[in-house]
Amino acid sequence: MKVNKKEIFFLLPLFFFYFVFYILLRYVPMDSILSKGLVVGNVLIYSPLATLLVSLLYAAFYGFSLRFSFLVALLFFLTIFTFGEWIPLYHAAYFLCSLAGNGLGHLIYLFSRKNSRAENQ
């Protein structure tokens, strides 16, 4: 599967939330309670929200792409390296966030195309 440059650009923020964020937490000196709070916040709030927004933006620019949602799901496997385990429920939830973002973004895409066609006529 060849990944386009436009897809890589949109996958980079997710790479940060899925992988780099956890590595940074290991090396930044902070209280253990704060560190655990950031990890839990990232797993439950920040990463799903970032997944939803990135998928929404991608679909708003390029239309619905099931392929992009699958790439997001494949990228989520990076969390296995940071946590040492795989949680299928989170994986399914993040995939659904990606699909929801793709769907909402596709509505924006269709609406903007419809408006641009109406202006051209």
Does residue 109 carry a pLDDT above 90? yes
> What pLDDT, on the 0 to 100 scale, is given for residue 121?
67
> Which amino acid type is present at position 50?
A
Compute the half-sphere exposure of residue 57: CA atoms within 13 Å on the CB side of its CA. 12
Please say whether the beta carbons of 42 and 72 come within 8 A.
no
Mean pLDDT over 103-115 rounds to 92
Q: What is the pLDDT of residues 26-79, one digit of tens each?
A: 898 889 899 899 989 988 999 999 999 999 999 999 999 999 999 999 998 888
Mean of per-residue pLDDT scores for the chain: 89
Instruction: Report the amino acid identity of residue 63.
Output: G
Distance CA 107, CA 46 (A): 24
Task: Check whether 104 has a pLDDT greater than 90.
Answer: yes
Token digits for 15? 């790479």
Whether residue 86 has pLDDT greater than 90: no
For residue 89, what are the contacts with CB-CB under 8 A and spacing of at least 6?
Answer: none
In this predicted structure, the answer to whether residue 98 has a pLDDT above a threshold of 70 is: yes
120 burial level (CB within 10 Å; 0-12, 13-18, 19+): exposed
Per-residue confidence (pLDDT) for residue 83, from 0 to 100:
77
Please report which residue ranges of 32-83 form alpha helices under DSSP H.
32-41, 47-62, 66-75, 79-83
